Amino acid sequence: MKKVSKLYLFFTSLFFLFSPFSLGLVAIYFEDSNLEDEFSGLIMNVGLVIILGIVMGSMIAKEKLEKPNINEIKLLIFGALSNIVIYFYVFQNALNIDDFVTIYFAMILILFLYLIIIDHVNLNYELWIFAILFFTVDLIFFTYIGTQGDTYFHNDVPANFIQRLFFITVPLTTLILFISKIRKYDVIDTFTKIFIVITILVGLVFFEGIDVEDKFILTLNLIVPFIIIIDFILSIIYKRFDPYKLTFYLRMGTFILLIYIYDGISYFVMSSYSDHNLAELVMITYVVIVCNLIEYLIPNKKIN
């Protein structure tokens, strides 16, 4: 995407916050209202958009902001349409569309909007792969696997060999895509090497005789924040801070959390699954979104 004003980039980012903010305002000010939550949320959302329009118009009139060029107009249109998508996701329960409008479906729609409006050439393959994979896993489970017998939403559903392979695509894809991105960060130093070793050692919990309460594992858990804090302090002192360190630790920390989650539910050896086993999809999704946002905002980006 061609260069745009940082202010218009900021204004566009606000569109992504309007719906969650509207939900909070509805909970505070419309609790005893006769209006349905979705209508109250719509009113608040539209009000926020109008306020933003007034602020931008006022800044342009006072010559504190230049009139938007074609790329900045596209960016604002993308933000406005994304706001609509996020509205339906945030108020999915009130609108009774929570069976279909998931965070993965919303991601796919927003990625399509970005592809059509902003950039027709450069695809964010990581976001696309995660969005499509997780949407597929979620849809198949709740449409076919999770409806077997009377087990829907209640007990574990017996999983055959094919289904076991199907669920393992989640950690396998996460591992491949995360490592692919981490290699591009070019942040490998003493601290990141230590963190990688710790992550590998935490994987020992998958073996018999070692669990999360083991003193060795607890010691590793204690070292993790210590390593991160010391790394950032030294980076600031010696003025060599690299924003990609943030995304590195976010992704590696996610590996550690997934190891504990999968060990706790015996993910790789269990013969049955439930809707609770899909909770990690949401966590991974938010980590991917945050990491890609940080990468997008880093000046002189080194990676796509």
d(Cα 262, Cα 206) in Å, to the nearest integer? Answer: 9
Residues 201/203/208/209 CA torsion (nearest 10 deg): 40
Q: What is the pTM of this model?
A: 0.83
Three-state SS string across 157-203, please? EECCHHHHHHHHHHHHHHHHHHHHHHHHHCCCCHHHHHHHHHHHHHH
Q: Where are the domains of the chain?
A: 1-122, 132-304
d(Cα 226, Cα 223) in Å, to the nearest integer? Answer: 5
- Residues 131, 113: contact at Cβ < 8 Å? no
Note down pLDDT in tens along the chain; length 304 residues. 556 788 898 999 999 999 999 999 898 888 777 778 889 999 999 999 999 999 999 999 998 999 999 999 999 999 999 999 999 999 998 888 877 888 999 999 999 999 999 988 888 899 999 999 999 988 887 777 665 444 444 456 666 777 777 788 888 999 999 999 999 898 989 999 999 999 999 888 777 666 667 787 888 889 999 999 999 999 989 888 888 999 999 999 999 998 888 877 666 666 666 666 677 888 999 999 999 988 887 766 556 5
